[in-house]
Structures are given as C-alpha cells and as structure tokens.
Amino acid sequence: MRASSSTRMSPWVVTIRNWGYSLLNSARISSVDFAPSTASTGKVSDSDRIRPIRNFLIGASGWRLVDCRLTECKFTGKVVDEKFSTPHGFPVTLRAMENMPAITRFAPSPTGYVHVGNVRTAFFNQLLARCSGGRFILRSEDTDAERSKQEYLDALLADLHWLGLRWDEGPDCGGPSGPYCQSERSGLYEVYYTRLIDSGDAYPCYCSDQELKLSRKRQLASGRPPRYAGTCRHLGDQERADKAAQGRVPVLRFKVTAGDSVTFQDLVRGEQVFARDDIGDFVIRRADGSAAFFFSNAVDDALMQVSHVLRGEDHVANTPRQILLLQALDLSVPRYGHFSLMVGDDGAPLSKRHGASSLRELRLAGYLPGAILNHFLRLGHKADIDDWLDLDQMPEHFNIDALGRAPARYDMDQLRHWQKEAVMRLSIAELEDWLGDSGRALIPPEQTGAFLELVRSNVLFPADLQAWVDVLYGDLPKPGESEQEWLQQAGSEFFRAALAALENPAATLKDLTDAVKTATGAKGKQLFMPLRAALTGRTDGPGLQEMLVLMSADTKRKRLQEALALGQKHSREPLI
RNA sequence: GCUCCCUUCGUCUAGUGGUUAGGACUCCGGCCUCUCACGCCGGCAACAGGGGUUCGAGCCCCCUAGGGAGCGCCA
C-alpha cells in the first residue's frame, strides 16, 4: 500500500500533560486534533503545522504545560523542535517529525528454512517501508558457500510469498541495485577492499586459527575480554613477505584505531555508545577471498541506498563496526534500529524444542498467513488497535516507536486466537482448498458452501474440517466416553422411536424429538444429547438440525441403528 | 571473564512523578442456545526484590536477583 505523505495528512495529534500539586489539577487532557488547514495547497511548512497548535496551547491558559509533542508520524524523520514558553513561564517543546520514505531490507542467509524470528524481522521491515511509501528490498546473504543452498533460497522466497510479503527488489524480481545475492557481488567489493588498504584502514592478517584461539584463551584467563591482539597490525613489508612465503594466506582486517567512542542514535533503543577499545580489529575478507558479514552487509546497505536497518538486538554490537567501516569508505550510513529478540514460552531463546520454529512448519501445521501476521504485529510491538487487521491495513498501524526493548515470548495461545479469527474471515473458496481431494469427493457439490459455512466456527485447522466432513458424509470414529454414556442412558426404546420417525426421509429434528418424547418421555438434554451423539458421534459441533439437513437419509438411519445396537448391548432393558 | 541491554496480570502489552495501574489473549462465570464454537456482558489476575530522591515513585537514582545479547575466517 502506497500513500504519499501529502495526501495522507491525518490530523496531528497533540498530547498534553499537565503538571501541578493540586489534585484538582490532575485531570489529563487526552488529545487534540488539528486538521492541517493548508493541506490543499500542497507543501505545508513546519511552521504552518505548528502555528495552530501553538495558538491553541497559549489559549489554554488554565494548564501548566511541560511537554507537547506531535506524534502523528509513524517513524522518525527530520525532527523539528520549536521551543517557547507559555504565559506561565513553563517551557513547551513542539516536536514535529516529517515523514520520509524509508528504504528497508531483509537480508537472510539461505542456510535452512526461514526461522520465525527472521520472518518477524522481514515483516517489520516491509511495514516500515510501506507506511512511509518507501521500498522494501530482499537480499540473499549467501557468502557462506558451505551452508548456503539454492533450495533454501527458493524455499525462503516461496514461504515469505505465501505469508503475503512482497518486496520491490530481490533475487527473483531484480531491481536497480542488483545482483541481490551476495555470492554474485564479490566483484563489486574489490574496489572497497582496495580503498581500505590504500587508506591504511585495513591490513592483511596472517594469524592462524590456533594462534587466535590461544590468544583469546589467554585474555579470558587474565580477566580481559577476548579481542584481536593486533599482532599483524604493524607488520612490515618484509615480515608480510616472509609469512606469505610460509604459505600463509592472509585475511583482511579492518583497523579500529583508538579514539573517541562510537555513538549512534538507535531508532528503538536511543543513544548507544561504544568504546573503541571494546571493538577489536575485525575480519572483512576471509582467506578464501569471500566477504565477511560486517563488510558485505554494510557495503550492500550503502550501495542499495538502504535508509533504515531494522534488525534484532543481536546486531547492536555489530553496528559500531559497520558505522566505522562505512565512514572509512565514505559511504552513507543508514539509521539503525534494534528490537528485542523473540524467545520461547519459557523465556529461553527460540529453538527446536519450542515446537514450530520455522515458517515452513507453521505453514504445514495449517496456520494461516493472516494469523501469523496479526500475531507478529503484536509481538514486541504495540499496535494501536487490538482487532484483526488485514495485511494492507497493517502499515498504518505500525509504529517504529512502538517497538519493544524487552524480549517477547512466542505464545501459542495467542497464535491460536488469531488463527480462529483468520478462519472466520476465510472465503468459501479458501476453505474449499482445505477440504483436499478426499474431502471434496465426499461432499455433494451443491452442499459445499452450506457445509463450510456451517462448520467453520468449529474449525481451526484443515484436519478439523476433515473431521466434520466425516461426521456429515463419511464414517464415524468409535464413540468417545461421554458419547457412549449418552447413548447408554437413552436406552433402546429411545432409538427405536427415532428410527421410526426416520421412515420419513425428510424428517426434521423436531419430528425426531417429538417421536422420542412421545415414546420415552425424555426431554431437555436427555432428549437432545443422545440424538446428537448417535447422529454425529460427538457432543459438540454446529446446530443439529442444520447438520441433519445436509446428511443423507441413509447415513442418519445407519447411525441410529448403530446406536440402537450399542444400547441393546450395554443397557439394562426395562423389566416390564 | 568482560561490555551492553531487559524486567508491569500466566502471556502480549499501555503507562515518560499524582492512574480505582488500562487493553488484548488464556482461564472462570452469566446471557444466547439441543451441545460446542461464535457473539454479547462480567470476573480473577501484575509494577522482580531491597534501598534512596520526593509532599508523592510503576515511572528518577543506587544495589541485588533473574533473563538476554555481544566479545568468530557464523550471519
């Protein structure tokens, strides 16, 4: 969904909080809406936006104002602050944020089926792009030739597509900044390696795996954090030649020189400060010549003009490295935002034992895209409404400021709730897909629609639907305990009477109950439950009359006969 | 080991010094109803603990506990 910011001018919402000692003053002004009066003239300047609000505030002289913020915008753009004082001398800050299109990306490694945590990342990035009228890019980070597989990339694209996500640029659809697989971009990286080497920001490192491990161990043992010791930093040409002559193949390391700390404004966590001493020199090109994550990820973001990098918390500490790298290369630095990771229902990191951890598994289990999306929209993110949202409505309810900093538990109860909602919104055609060939074969075509409408509120997954197909058109499973109880309680007279009423194939539920009532005197639950149990094999489900209409006379007769047989076998026949 | 981050009902969360701490899911009760579900109405249920600061703390500061992340030729 694309919305240009000029046509999408919803009223600005101003929240005003008052401040004072008196309880009489403790009421809260909720919010005030301002329709931008100059919207029709096209471009609206910031001062035009702020003026009516300021006039209002000054007019509201009964209030002591501390802070007044414009919160209409969905994400942080250019921030315009205007400070002034009320007649009471309290300072007021107006903060207007100008909407800017965000170019976002999702950059997975195709080393397996896409994990639900990554799916949420992709989803949030798409929402951020859509809510600002920007672009969403999909980039495959397949630099690890060992683990990356084409089949996983195909599966990833298919699964995300199934979910309903759409990207404007990607490996399957191309785009202006291609190629979109890093394995095909190595040529592009050469110029940047060279630039870093020439500027002295990168150097070859000949340390072996063992040497590095040993060094790390030593540092750890002496209570210091494990960092690259800088062994190869100051190697002279001769030393390098010697190492090379020994057959050592160097990696390329980025040099993090001592200096001021690296600072950036995180979109969700606020200011982040990292001491340069805490960042060791890191590898940007492996011995086999392939690009390391820090490098290719950051360089590609810049080359693809990504404006906002929204990713999981696990990348926070990577960010200063990437910023340093981009600055050294004189490439543009995107805004970064790190939201909390998703954890299992026990608070531990998501893993196999928490059940479905890949999107593929959820899909196979029968979960619907809308259910997953509605759940994710509210996991670690506060949507401004609790009701169901269609995918195309979601961008306007996404807010980067509403992203959480605390880990969010992935809760199946909540997912099931959204699944229920999703099933209720399925079209008949979509429900029909759930039937499968075996189900379709059993149902008379003219009844399909009525059947699906009838049972949908009792269905969560395709298997449930299949069960109802069997109830109405197929064979019943062995009756459960509570069903048996009802059948035995009713006795044979009960079912003989029902069977007699079925002589008329068009007999309604009322016809049946009338006949049984007359014969046995049963009423209420004693009357209906045995009938339900006998005819459907279960004590729950849609309206019995509605089901009877769809069932064939044969089926009904057969089931009553079975109930009769069971009743005769088990019940104590009346002595008279 | 070191650095950083997080902690409000069982769960997802609202909350930016004065709130009867709000909503959603789950659960329970009621209505509807032949049953279950749907729907509607209602209920249970939380500020991790301890110290400060303040007239007043869920919100600010410190400590403790618990959880998470990072410190790779993984991404």
Contacting residues 83-112/A vs strand B (CB within 7 A): 107-109
Predicted pLDDT of residue A106: 97
Q: How far is the CA of A37 from the C1' of B47 (A)?
A: 43
| Confidence bin at A19 (pLDDT 50/70/90) | very low
What is the number of other CB atoms lying within 10 angstroms of the CB of residue A511?
15
Mean per-residue pLDDT over chain A, rounded: 81
Q: How far is the CA of A282 from the C1' of B72 (A)?
A: 9
Q: Answer yes or no: is pLDDT of A354 > 90.
A: no
Minimum mean pLDDT range among A53-57, A94-98, A430-434:
A94-98
Q: Answer yes or no: is pLDDT of A82 > 60.
A: no
Contacting residues 18-47/A vs strand B (CB within 7 A): 19-21, 23, 26
Q: Answer yes or no: is pLDDT of A482 > 60.
A: yes
Q: Which nucleotide is nearest to A297 (CA to C1')?
A: B75
Q: How far is the CA of A261 from the C1' of B28 (A)?
A: 55
Minimum mean pLDDT range among A184-188, A303-307, A448-452, A559-563:
A559-563
Q: Answer yes or no: is pLDDT of A509 > 50.
A: yes
The pLDDT > 70 percentage for chain A reads 80
The better pLDDT of the pair A258, A53 is held by: A258
Three-state DSSP class for residue A284: strand
Predicted pLDDT of residue A395: 93
| Confidence bin at A9 (pLDDT 50/70/90) | very low
Predicted pLDDT of residue A567: 64
Predicted pLDDT of residue A51: 46
CA dist A238 and A550 (Å) reads 90
A412 CB closer than 7 A to any strand B atom: no
| Confidence bin at A61 (pLDDT 50/70/90) | very low
Predicted pLDDT of residue A533: 92
A411 CB closer than 7 A to any strand B atom: yes
Q: How far is the CA of A413 from the C1' of B26 (A)?
A: 7
Residue A177, token pair as written in the block: 């900044």
Residue A357, token pair as written in the block: 């951890």
Residue A211 and residue A250 in contact, taking contact as beta carbons nearer than 8 Å = no
Residue nearest to nucleotide B39 (CA to C1'): A457
Residue A350 and residue A357 in contact, taking contact as beta carbons nearer than 8 Å = yes
Residue A403 and residue A124 in contact, taking contact as beta carbons nearer than 8 Å = yes
Per residue in A252-272, pLDDT (tens digit) is 999 999 888 888 888 888 888
Q: Answer yes or no: is pLDDT of A113 > 60.
A: yes
**Helix, strand, coil percentages, rounded to 5, for chain A:** 45, 15, 35
CA dist A412 and A354 (Å) reads 10
Does pTM top 0.95 for this prediction? Answer: no
Q: Quick one: average pLDDT of A36-55?
A: 40
Residue A10 and residue A72 in contact, taking contact as beta carbons nearer than 8 Å = yes
Predicted pLDDT of residue A5: 32
Predicted pLDDT of residue A306: 94
Predicted pLDDT of residue A240: 94
> Cα Rg for chain A, rounded, in angstroms?
33
Predicted pLDDT of residue A123: 97
Q: What is the ipTM of this complex?
A: 0.94
CA dist A340 and A20 (Å) reads 36
Contacting residues 461-500/A vs strand B (CB within 7 A): none
Q: How far is the CA of A553 from the C1' of B39 (A)?
A: 32
The better pLDDT of the pair A12, A455 is held by: A455
A282 CB closer than 7 A to any strand B atom: yes
Predicted pLDDT of residue A353: 67
Q: Which nucleotide is nearest to A381 (CA to C1')?
A: B13
Predicted pLDDT of residue A43: 39
Task: Produce one character per residue of A347-382: b if its CB has 16 or more CB atoms within 10 Å, e if not.
Answer: eeebeeebebbbbbebbeebbbbbbbbbbbbbbbbe
| Confidence bin at A508 (pLDDT 50/70/90) | very high
Predicted pLDDT of residue A575: 40
Q: Which residues pair with A169 in a beta bridge?
A: A137
In A431-512, beta strands by DSSP E? none
Predicted pLDDT of residue A158: 97
CA A36 to chain CA centroid, Å, is 34
Residue with tokens 């600005």: A12
Residue A451, CA atoms < 13 Å, CB-side half-sphere: 25
Q: Which nucleotide is nearest to A282 (CA to C1')?
A: B72
| Confidence bin at A60 (pLDDT 50/70/90) | very low
CA angle A134, A136, A142 (to 5 degrees): 155
Minimum mean pLDDT range among A85-89, A357-361, A476-480, A558-562:
A85-89
Q: Answer yes or no: is pLDDT of A212 > 50.
A: yes
CB-based burial of residue A237 (10 Å sphere; 0-12 exposed, 13-18 middle, 19+ buried)? exposed
CA-to-CA separations, A125 to A166, A192, A345, A395, A467, in angstroms, rounded: 11, 27, 25, 10, 39
Q: Answer yes or no: is pLDDT of A396 > 60.
A: yes
Predicted pLDDT of residue A570: 55
Instruction: Count H helices and E strands in chain A, helices first.
Output: 19, 16
Kindly report the bases of strand B lying within 7 A of a protein C-beta atom: 1-8, 10-19, 23-26, 34-38, 55, 67-75
Q: Answer yes or no: is pLDDT of A546 > 60.
A: yes
A389 CB closer than 7 A to any strand B atom: no
